[in-house]
Amino acid sequence: MKFLPMQKYCNPLMRVLGLFLVFCTMAMHAAMAQEQELKPVDDSSTALGSLFGGNASGITAVKVVANTEQSITLQVSVKGIQGDATALSGAVLNKLKKPLADVVCESRKLPAGDGTAELKFQFKQGNGAYKSGFLESYFVSLTLARKEGILGSLDLGDDVLGDNTVYAFQKKWRVSGSASMVIPVVLMPFKSAATLKP
């Protein structure tokens, strides 16, 4: 009786098993990234936003539905919106909770009642020089503001007249290359001068 080497049958089986495990791991990580729910941060800006006429009900949940190197998309769940004059806007903040001008977000008009809205934050390259290939943000600020009545017609900023909530979300935004970008490069010798031929 002749026995065939086990290696002949194990290699294809191991490859299929390995690919299956890699696929399962990637799918699990993608599902976890899609279901990331942001938690609100207690701070003075949230309290001031509620004090100056913010909605009592407002935002109930915020989830990350897409996250790339230069953009994020948030799904914002809201309840108890009264009238059709409520706008949802957002900003990405640095460590000091100051907005980053290089990341923009268009505000969304919300219908009355309960529902969800998507806000997309996109990196837009500014004219300034960047010290590294990444721009870091640490928080996301979301504001629900009513746009009706006497105060709604004034341009005082959504964070003054609305319900402002800050969420913890750390992200590195990839900065695309530009002429003004400074990239430190460390040179490593490949060969000595004596070994190089003309």
Share in percent of the chain as helix, strand, coil (round to 5): 25, 40, 35
Surface-to-core class of residue 75, CB atoms within 10 Å of its CB (0-12 exposed, 13-18 middle, 19+ buried): middle
> pLDDT at position 171, please?
92
> pLDDT at position 190, please?
74
Complete edge-to-edge strand list for the sheet that includes strand 113-123: 58-67, 71-81, 113-123, 103-105
Taking only the tens of pLDDT, the chain with its 198 residues reads: 555 555 555 567 777 777 777 766 665 555 555 568 989 987 554 454 444 444 445 889 999 999 988 899 999 998 888 777 788 999 999 999 999 989 999 888 888 888 889 999 999 887 777 777 788 999 999 998 876 544 444 444 444 456 889 999 999 988 865 555 566 778 777 777 777 776
Measured between alpha carbons, how far is 106 from 101 in angstroms, rounded to an integer? 13
Helix (H) or strand (E) holding 22: helix 6-34
pTM above 0.85, yes or no: no
Measured between alpha carbons, how far is 113 from 69 in angstroms, rounded to an integer? 34
